[in-house]
Chain A
Amino acid sequence: GAVVSQHPSWVICKSGTSVKIECRSLDFQATTMFWYRQFPKQSLMLMATSNEGSKATYEQGVEKDKFLINHASLTLSTLTVTSAHPEDSSFYICSARGAPRPSSYEQYFGPGTRLTVT
Chain B
Amino acid sequence: KNQVEQSPQSLIILEGKNCTLQCNYTVSPFSNLRWYKQDTGRGPVSLTIMTFSENTKSNGRYTATLDADTKQSSLHITASQLSDSASYICVVNGSGGSYIPTFGRGTSLIVHP
Contacts and interface: CB of A to CB of B under 8 A. Distances in A.
Contacts, number: 43
A97 B46 CA distance: 14
Interface string A3-43: 01010000000000000000000000000100000000111
B99 A104 contact: yes
B99 A43 contact: no
Interface in B3-58: 31-32, 36, 41-46, 49
Contact of B43 (A32, A42, A43, A93): A93
Interface residues of A, number: 23
Interface residues of B, number: 21
A34 B106 CA distance: 19
Given A43-B89, A44-B44, A105 B104 contact: no
B105 A42 contact: yes
Given A41-B108, A43-B105, A49-B100, A106 B43 contact: no
Interface string B87-112: 00100010000111101111010000
B45 A109 contact: yes
A18 B80 CA distance: 43
A97 B103 contact: no
Given A44-B89, A112-B41, A106 B108 contact: no
Contacts of A91: 41
A105 B89 contact: no
Interface of B: 31-32, 36, 41-46, 49, 89, 93, 98-101, 103-106, 108
Interface of A: 4, 6, 32, 41-44, 46, 49, 91, 93, 95, 97, 104-112, 114
Given A42-B105, A104-B99, A107-B101, 6 more contacts: A43-B104, A43-B106, A44-B103, A93-B44, A105-B31, A112-B43
